[in-house]
Amino acid sequence: MHRLWLRFVALGYLAAILVGPLAIVFWRTFEDGFQPAWDALTSPETIHALKLTLLITAIAVPINTVFGIVCALAIVRRRFPGKGLLNAFIDLPLALSPVVVGLALFLLYGREGWFGGWLEDHGIQVLFALPAMVIATIFVSLPFVAREVVPTLREIGDEQEQAAKTLGASGWQTFWRITLPSIRWAVVYGVILTTARCLGEYGAVAVVSGRIQGKTETATLRVQERYESFDLAGAYAISIVLALMAIAVLVATTVIRPKEANA
């Protein structure tokens, strides 16, 4: 009886908070049939927005994967001054509101900012362009790979790496043949979480992008823009594409999890 109650509460909570709203989005999208939704999705601006989101994700995820692995190795395997600080700073993007991140980038790269003047003199456009949007996305999705890899690295210890060294393997060989295969599932899981975060990023990108339709408008920004323009069908249609991507990512994680247990 007690167990049933627990299950009821857990599932009920999920239904109210997650599934309900999502279901309504689906329903409202197709309320007037497929055509309006399809038209909204195939408009040039929407296609551009979706492509832009995928492009930013495709740049940010590999960078954060490499950075996350390097950081995790530094935190777990090395001793250096400032290590505690690095460990704490990696979590900063989780604590900081993305809007604050966007404003910080504004202060750095804006016309009056630290780098803004120099960049403008050299004809490099950062704000209201792809570079700032990529930087903002990298920032908010920074911790996931490192946070997945750190505990795995701690758990496997460094004896296998020492063994590889005594057997003549260089640092590079040890990394590719021993360390990386040992942490591969943690990396994969971190990459999935990073991807999900990149696809859904709104706040920081909203600040630095300038929201120029057909130029610097990502999928999430497009949803907001459609909504504000009273094109609810359009907003819902793009939302659904984003939701499907997120669901695909989640399914990928549940498919991968049991494999991890066997490895």
Partner 1 sequence: MSILVRNVSKRFGDFVALDDVSLDVESGSLTALLGPSGSGKSTLLRIVAGLETADAGEILLSGKDATALAPQKRNVGFVFQHYAAFKHMTVRDNIAFGLKVRKRPKAEIRERVEELLGLVQLQGLGDRYPSQLSGGQRQRMGLARALAPEPQVLLLDEPFGALDARVRAELREWLRHLHDVVSVTTVFVTHDQEEAMEISDQIAVMNAGRLEQVGAPRDLYDQPASAFVMRFVGDAYDLDGALVRPHDVELSPAFEDDAVEAMIVRVTFLGRDVKIELHDGAGGEIVALLERNRYEELGLWRGQTVWARPQRERIFAADEAA
Give the interface with partner 1 as residue ranges (CB under 8 A): 159-160, 162-170, 173, 177-178, 181-182, 263
Ramachandran angles phi, psi of 194, nearest 5°: -60, -45
Give the nearest distance from C-beta 156 to partner 1 in angstroms. 8
Shorter beta-carbon distance to partner 1: residue 10 or 180:
180
Cα distances from 191 to residues 54, 123, 219, 230, 253, in angstroms, run 14, 34, 20, 36, 10
Give the nearest distance from C-beta 254 to partner 1 in angstroms. 23
Give the nearest distance from C-beta 172 to partner 1 in angstroms. 10
Q: How many other CB atoms sit within 10 Å of the CB of residue 19?
A: 11
Give the nearest distance from C-beta 263 to partner 1 in angstroms. 7
* Rounded-to-integer distance, Cα 262 and Cα 107, Å: 48
Shorter beta-carbon distance to partner 1: residue 69 or 207:
69
Give the nearest distance from C-beta 157 to partner 1 in angstroms. 9
Shorter beta-carbon distance to partner 1: residue 165 or 215:
165
Name the helix (H) or strand (E) containing 87. Answer: helix 83-89
* Rounded-to-integer distance, Cα 259 and Cα 206, Å: 38
Provide the b/e sequence for 154-193 (b: ≥16 CB within 10 Å).
eebebeebeebeeeebeeeebbeebbeebbebbbbbbbbb
Shorter beta-carbon distance to partner 1: residue 35 or 173:
173
Give the nearest distance from C-beta 181 to partner 1 in angstroms. 5
Shorter beta-carbon distance to partner 1: residue 20 or 181:
181
Shorter beta-carbon distance to partner 1: residue 69 or 134:
69
Give the nearest distance from C-beta 158 to partner 1 in angstroms. 9
Shorter beta-carbon distance to partner 1: residue 160 or 224:
160
Nearest to 56 by CA among 180, 219, 211: 219
Residue 13 burial (C-beta neighbours within 10 Å; 0-12, 13-18, 19+): exposed
Cα distances from 39 to residues 30, 36, 44, 49, in angstroms, run 12, 5, 10, 15
SS3 114: coil
